[in-house]
Amino acid sequence: MASLLDQLRTMTVVVADTGDIQSIEQFKPRDATTNPSLITAAAEMPKYKEIVDGTLLDARKELGDSADPQKVASLAFDRLAVSFGKRILQIVPKRVSTEVDARLSFDTAGSVAKGREIIAQYESAGISRERILIKIAATWEGIKAGEILEKEGIHCNLTLMFGLHQAIACAEAGITLISPFVGRILDWYKKDTGHDYAPAEDPGVLSVGTIYNYYKKYGYKTEVMGASFRNLGEITELAGCDLLTISPPLLAELAKTEGVLPRKLDPEKAKTMEITRMTIDHATFDKMHAADRMASDKLAEGISGFSKALVNLETMLAHRITELEEQSVPAMA
């Protein structure tokens, strides 16, 4: 019997949720997604020192040998996610998601500028923008940034997605793809209620199902990519979703597990459902977001967590460039 992973691939695009290039080579997903926490974790692995050091040395060369180490680290920081992305694109056949600085999550103009800058880095390396998804937090400001970028042919992945209001606003803005965070929704409800949830009743699973059915009912082109899974059951309950981005440990579990995997999400079924259509303007978005404690809490927490990961990465790079410069002194003497 085929593994659950092989069966899942017949109805859903499987994406690797990691910055670990060896894991991507192992599972051969179609796409890969990264985020600041994943890039920071990968950058700290000895096996990727070559990518980190190469990015730092390129930044120092560009700024000159007399450049302040902090400035070198800052430039390298801006480019490290793209450095990992370029390596990942040598393995996956389609797309990689590269995230805009989470500290720009409420800055539309800043997010647009950073998205253009990321695309320019890839294109200067000969990589088509069709293979890149610019990842932006699904604040109202982030969604508006994505709308601007999409009109320029820059495809976006709106992340930290927790509420239907975020999803509808993204679809109306013409966003290429959204990433609802299944596991983080479950985390919030377990903490809030003290209850455990069976996979079919998992609030994160139900949230993705609601978004998927809404999109298919009304013919939106925006793709739904479930993300942030805590267990195998969450994944199997979303079989049929457009895409699922899955961590290496759960990919391994899917690969070694056999059994029948029925399709749970179906676009044809969604078209027959009675679903009320909504229009989300800024005021409606803010009102719905304020009323949704889970979405409000988890969006703020996610932005904060990614921002902290970026600070840690900047600190690590500053320390590493100092080490590299100290190592180069004897050679120059």
Closest CA to 32 of 299, 248, 194, 297: 248
DSSP secondary structure string for all residues of 56-80: HHHHHHHH-TTS-HHHHHHHHHHHH
Q: Helix-strand-coil percent breakdown of the chain, rounded to 5? A: 60, 10, 30
Quote the strand ranges of the chain, DSSP E. Answer: 13-17, 31-33, 96-99, 132-137, 156-161, 177-180, 223-226, 243-246
Indicate which residues carry an active-site annotation. 135
Q: Rounded distance, CA 78 to CA 85, Å?
A: 12
Which distant-in-sequence residues (6+ apart) come within 8 Å of 220 by Cβ? 171, 214
Q: Which two structure tokens, joined as six digits, stand for 23?
A: 């894991």
In terms of phi and psi (left: phi > 0; alpha: psi -120 to 50; beta: otherwise), the region of 114 is alpha
